Structure 1
């Protein structure tokens, strides 16, 4: 399940993943939020808090995640992933080398730092 994270700056979209995450979750929660953000801000600052393991994302969810990434490929500025899984945190840090924006992994107890980091706009 994906749930929006409230009380973030208007240029940041945040979602919390828990339990099983499905294609429907991405289509109904994440994709509309990203589309609206691009419409209003023309760039994406994204926070994902994983309260579940990546193994709980269905195949359809992974496909929709890829669609989300490609749909606005040049709009991604920052992506913060908060997770208890060290392998996901490490992957996120390396992903920054191939993604158009910055990506950074954070530990579960670093949520406040993740929000501060992703909320800070890049210089143009």
Structure 2
């Protein structure tokens, strides 16, 4: 199941995944939020809190997720994926080589750091790193 995370800055879409994730979840929860964000600001800052095994995503959910990613390929700004699955964290870190934006994997215990990272705008990121 996908649920929208409501307490994030308006320039970030946050999704919490638990249990089985279906094509309908992607179509009714994720895609409308991503489409609205792109229409409003032209780029995507995305937080995915993954508290389910990636094997719990149905084939239809994966296919729609891939189609959405390709449709918005040049719009990805920041992608933060929070999961205790080491393979997911590694893949997210490696994903930065395949999309124009930045991506970073975090452990569930690092959720607050993930929110801070995906929420920070570039000028804030530069200031914080000084």
Structure 2 length-normalised TM: 0.92
Question: In structure 2, what is the Cα distance between the partners aligned to 1:22 and 1:15?
Answer: 14
Matches within 5 A, 1:3-18: 3-18=3-18
Matches within 5 A, 1:9-88: 9-88=9-88
Question: In structure 1, what is the Cα distance between the partners aligned to 2:94 and 2:43?
Answer: 21
The Cα of 1:98 is off from its aligned counterpart by 1.1
Structure 2 gap ranges (5+): 124-130
Question: In structure 1, what is the Cα distance between the partners aligned to 2:27 and 2:39?
Answer: 17
How many residue pairs match? The answer is 123
The Cα of 1:95 is off from its aligned counterpart by 0.7
Structure 1 gap ranges (5+): none
Show structure 1 runs of 4+ deviating over 2 A.
none
Deviations 1:75-114 (A, max 9, x none): 1000000001011001110111111111100000000000
